[in-house]
Structure 1
Amino acid sequence: MTDVLKTKAELRAARLAARDAIPPVERIEKSLLIASHGAEAISLDAGAIVSGFLPIRSEVDVRPLMAHLRNRSARLCVPVILDKKTIVFRELVRGGELVPGVFGTFGPGPDAAELEPQVMLVPLSAFDAGGHRIGYGGGYYDRAIHRLQQKGLNPTLIGIAFDCQEVASVPVEPHDIRLDAVLTESGYRPFEDMGRAQIG
């Protein structure tokens, strides 16, 4: 297990360094391409709840895509870290106040409604062609998705990344949950449903 964690840490560091190396202007252009591909590929029911995220560091800026989905009547929410193990998804409303969180994040305050996403735009550090992802090492999303699944919910998981974050293979641990698709500047790539890993 230590080898798996070591390999993940090495892949995470290398792919985040590659992402950091994208010039800011190029990152904006790639983010707009990602929004364009996502707008065409993501189908939603009216009023569907979509979780996005407000970008930090060199992450893809998914706000243009989120704005497009909102215009198609989606209800938007973003993750807010409550403690060392838990994130909740608070509704993001037009003109709503954002408060500082941990790791340089911002999000809606405690007065905002907590929602259960049906479609999740998932940040990541690395991914492979099998739909496996490496997050940032905290396990927040895996636990949040597991919590939704325990309630009988099965959100569509769409990884958000730049092409440079793809790796040949991600080592898989029992608690890891596969993505349904990944969205990069090259387009929207759905993965075959081979059954997601479940937390035991």
Structure 2
Amino acid sequence: MSGTFDELGRKKAKLERASKRILERHQSQDNLSEEQVNQDLKQKEKLDKSADKITQFLATHQEKTGSKGKPVKSNITDPDSAKMTTSKGTIQGYNGIAINDDKHQIILQAQAWGSVGEQQTLQPAVAQLKQQLAQVCQNPKLTKQHTKFTADSGFNSEANLAFMAESGFDTYIADNQFRKRNPLFKESENFL
């Protein structure tokens, strides 16, 4: 079950109303068979259990917001995951980000992020990389000076460009608007 906190609150209220209607039906129809009573009680128990899960989730978690400041849907079973649109439809999952040493093919930092976009994962990933470099390198400043950091256009944002300019890494992040300016793509409709 997933949704924004507002949506989860409405789902909880709906479950509680459905549970209450079962009790009201029993009270108005005392002539129900034992089988119908047991079936309704099982349904009521299931509704109450789902409403209690939502209540517990809302009480113990904070609402997540996306990169644009809007509430992001949470999944009460796996609150760290995110709803992501893929070529196969929308799934509940994670976005895997890895930073590797291109020359030696060593993964330096990797993490699964419960966020849809890559943009908001760059800064925490680079911060973790800096911590790791500080732990293993005798002179992390020297390492940063000789490091070329590249990222695809999914990481391109004003905030990320400013952050990387201050990071000390020689950084190259693909521009997501470069095809519009490149004369080679001027007459191509596929890449605009």
TM-score, normalization: structure 1?
Answer: 0.27
TM-score, normalization: structure 2?
Answer: 0.28
Pick 1 or 2: higher relative contact order, CA cutoff 8 A, min separation 6.
1
Q: Which has the larger radius of gyration?
A: 2
When you count helix as a share of all residues, which structure comes out higher? 2
